Structure 1
Amino acid sequence: MSSVLSEYHQRVAQEKRALIVRAATDLFLELGYDRTSLARIAERSGVSRATLFKQFRTKAALFDAIVTESWSTATEEAPPPAGDVVDGLTTIGRRYAALLSRPQMTDLFRIVIAELPRFPELAQAQFSQGKMPYFESVRSYLLAEHEAGTVQVHDADLAATQFLGMISNYVFWPALLVPGWEVSAERVAEVVDEAVRTTAARYAAR
């Protein structure tokens, strides 16, 4: 009985946490980070202030959670095994395109850009807790392929940047900056495939 209650309480806590994160993201976009208080977030999310403070002691901690959760599904997925760089990069590229296509990712970057002059720590959180762990996973994969002899990558940082940039520059950044920008699923697949071909050709083992 106690385990059932424990599971129930955990599920309720997770549901309330999701409500808080969504409400905070919406308010940060509407009012800005500075003018959004924890009390207002509690009101918008429909939870008590005590519940919110139990989950997040500060507004900065809440923003950190937004960043972490926005990138979490990508960083938690196991990297593809080394041995076939085309298959591996295709898997990574599709995951990355799907991640960038999520509405909450666009929302997150808009908050960071809007608040950058006054709150540079938000950009630091986005980089260190979100972008960098994901980048490191791609870099590590390329190094694994190098060790397997499928590619020759002497600058894994540059190779990972090139590969991810070919995808994000078409799929993500225009959507962030141009109202109404949409890319079809078929076009996204083409963009990923071309990024894979270009990277595989550039770093193919001789």
Structure 2
Amino acid sequence: MTAQPSEYHRRVAAQKRTSIIEAATRLFLDSGYDGTSLARVAEAAGVSRATLFKQFTTKAALFEAIVTEYWKVDEEEAPLPEPGDLRAGLETIGRRYVALLTQPGMAALFRIVIAEVPRFPELGETQFELGKMPYFESVRRYLAAENAAGTALLDDAEMAATQFLGMISTYVFWPRMLLARWEPDDSALTNAVDQAVLTMLARYGAPGSHGA
């Protein structure tokens, strides 16, 4: 009979995993995907190679963990808004999206993928399938729920989600990819969300159903 790991051992394993992901992220950002080896990650994380390989058997698996960590949204702590007030729901989702896109390292992570994808196309697939798509799907589900509740009038929740997130990321995120000093202040970020919400309300909001 195999003994179950104790709470202490689980905590230590989680701490080592965090150290590995943080070290790998720094190395990927500094040296690129191809220029980072698992041996260097183990050294930078202060763990043995055996410990690293126990957690991540390949560099691709480690990169997948990093992408998942960057895009992670705890739906228990930050659940999707309840349908019924389209304005309030979109404002909540928009603010969360801004926080996600502006977290330290997100733009650099995208730069790694864009730079390395000609040689490692699986990196683009990882960023899309494990990062962007799960978040996008949560927004699509919310809009579909508003449609079912009669507070939004839309034929295609997927397209509506694409439009809403696109309006925000076009201002908040994509200029960062080319402009090193692109740092709009909080009021500008809030305004970007507010304008995207107003556009969505004008296009998809059911009359009188989206709050004041």
TM over 0.5: yes
Residue 110 to residue 169, structure 1, CA distance change in 2 (3 Å): same
Q: Which residue number in structure 2 is paired with residue 73 of structure 1? A: 73
Q: Which residue number in structure 1 is paired with residue 144 of structure 2? A: 143
Provide the aligned length of Structure 1 versus Structure 2: 202
8 Å CA contact 1:74–1:96 kept in 2: the answer is: no
Gaps of 5+ in 2: 208-212
Structure 2 Cα separation of the partners of residues 75 and 60 of structure 1 = 26
C-alpha displacement of 1:205: 2.1
Structure 2 Cα separation of the partners of residues 146 and 73 of structure 1 = 23
SS class of match (1:12): helix
SS class of match (2:184): coil
Structure 2 Cα separation of the partners of residues 104 and 14 of structure 1 = 21
8 Å CA contact 1:116–1:123 kept in 2: the answer is: yes
C-alpha displacement of 1:74: 5.8
Instruction: List per-residue Cα deviations over 1:106-150 (Å, max 9, x = no partner).
Output: 222111011011001000011011100110110111110001001
- % identical equivalent positions: 63
More helix as a share of residues: 1
CA RMSD in angstroms, aligned pairs only: 1.5
Residue 202 to residue 97, structure 1, CA distance change in 2 (3 Å): same
Structure 1 Cα separation of the partners of residues 121 and 75 of structure 2 = 24
Structure 1 runs (4+) deviating above 3 angstroms are 74-77
2:93 is equivalent to residue 103 of structure 1: no
Amino acid corresponding to residue 117 of structure 1 in structure 2:
P
8 Å CA contact 1:75–1:134 kept in 2: the answer is: no
2:64 is equivalent to residue 46 of structure 1: no
8 Å CA contact 1:97–1:188 kept in 2: the answer is: yes
Structure 2 Cα separation of the partners of residues 13 and 197 of structure 1 = 46
Gaps of 5+ in 1: none
Within a 5 Å distance, the mapping from 1:145-160 to structure 2 comes to: 145-160=146-161
2:139 is equivalent to residue 121 of structure 1: no
2:23 is equivalent to residue 20 of structure 1: no
Within a 5 Å distance, the mapping from 1:54-69 to structure 2 comes to: 54-69=54-69
Structure 2 Cα separation of the partners of residues 10 and 169 of structure 1 = 41
Structure 1 Cα separation of the partners of residues 105 and 65 of structure 2 = 13
Amino acid corresponding to residue 60 of structure 2 in structure 1:
A
Instruction: List per-residue Cα deviations over 1:64-111 (Å, max 9, x = no partner).
Output: 101111111266631100000000001100000000010132222111
